[in-house]
Amino acid sequence: MGILNLTPDSFSADGLAGRTDEAVSRALEMEAEGADIIDLGGESTRPQAPEVDAEEELGRVLPVLERLVGRLKVPISIDTYKAVTARRCLEAGAHLINDVWGLKRDPELVRVVAERGVPVVIAANQRDSPAKGDIVAEVRADLERGVELALKAGVARENIILDPGIGFGKTLEQNLALVWRLEELKYLGRPLLLGTSRKSFIGAVLDLPAQERLEGTAATVAIGIARGADIVRVHDVGPMVRLCRMSDAVVRGKW
């Protein structure tokens, strides 16, 4: 999953808000580099980032989405927790929704996903309630609640993807533990998405700014695949595609 930030305040300094031509070119480039999904986001999810309303979010995302639909051969994901944004983008041709709040922020979002019959990524987010016990157990419980919400609303089980939510209200030690113990979430029976790319826990270990965390990201992606990740969400698509192919060859005997 290639990351296309359409914000002015991305933590990784790759935001393309208002630069539609560049954003479209970058999406097509990521597809050519081997991305299987392109994830468009119009609101920064970095800590302390200001929230934006649906109108502003749509103003950033829709112009790019509308130009990519029909040109990209791979599915387009929308990174949002807002039902209004999700509905408009799905109507415009998006294929799945990536909710970093795990269906907890906007109760209408799960209904939109169910009505449209599209896949949804449900993330474990500890920003409102930091984990005090075993982080894997708390993430597991959070994801179980998200799955229950989705199923009750009519989302098909096969349309559910789970994300442990690396970086969302978790400490350095908790993030490291989640990558290493990722396989403990496989019992939930759904594909696991791992989003470690350029995140601050990598910077904390290596003492490097976001733009210099390629190798740190690569280490977490390779280990994540070995521990059961099915989808990896990354900024640097080309190098990570090659890493994934090699990791899959070792771990799964596929290339």
Catalytic residues: 199, 233
What tens digit of pLDDT does each residue of 161-214 get?
Answer: 999 999 999 999 999 999 999 999 999 999 999 999 999 999 999 999 999 999
Predicted pLDDT of residue 199: 96
Residue 51: per-residue pLDDT: 87
Res. 45 pLDDT band, cuts 50 70 90: confident
Query: Residue 139 is which amino acid?
Result: V
Indicate if the pLDDT at residue 27 is higher than 90. Answer: yes
- 8 pLDDT band (50/70/90 cuts)? confident
Average pLDDT over residues 50-72: 95
Whose tokens are 């098909």? That residue is: 156
Mean per-residue pLDDT, 133-156: 97
CA-nearest of 165, 162, 166 to 216 is 166
Residue 119 identity = P
Sorting pLDDT into bands at 50, 70 and 90, what band is 11?
low
Q: In the predicted model, is pLDDT for residue 14 greater than 80?
A: no
Reply yes or no on whether the pLDDT at 10 is more than 70.
no
CATH tag for 2-251 (out of 3.20.10.10, 3.20.20.20, 1.10.3720.10, 1.10.8.60): 3.20.20.20
For residue 152, pLDDT over 80 is answered with yes
Q: Which of 141, 147, 140 is nearest to 120 (CA)?
A: 147
Report the alpha-carbon distance of residue 216 to residue 199 in Å, rounded: 9
Q: How far is CA 15 from CA 5, 191, 250, in A?
A: 5, 28, 34
CB 33 within 8 A of CB 240: no
- Which residue intervals of the chain are DSSP H helices? 20-33, 54-68, 83-91, 107-116, 135-153, 172-180, 200-206, 214-226, 237-251
Task: Name the DSSP class of 77.
Answer: E
Output the pLDDT for position 17. 74
- In this prediction, residue 103 carries a pLDDT of 97
pLDDT range class, residue 12, cuts 50, 70, 90: low
Spatial CB neighbours of 65, under 8 Å, sequence gap ≥ 6: 40, 76, 78, 89, 92, 93, 94
| pLDDT at residue 47 in the model | 76
Q: Report which of residues 16 and 147 the model is more confident about.
A: 147
43: pLDDT strictly greater than 70: yes
Q: At what angle do helices 172-180 and 214-226 cross, to 10 degrees?
A: 40
What percent of the chain stands above pLDDT 70? 98
CA angle 218, 27, 63 (to 5 degrees): 140
What is the pTM for the complete model shown? 0.95
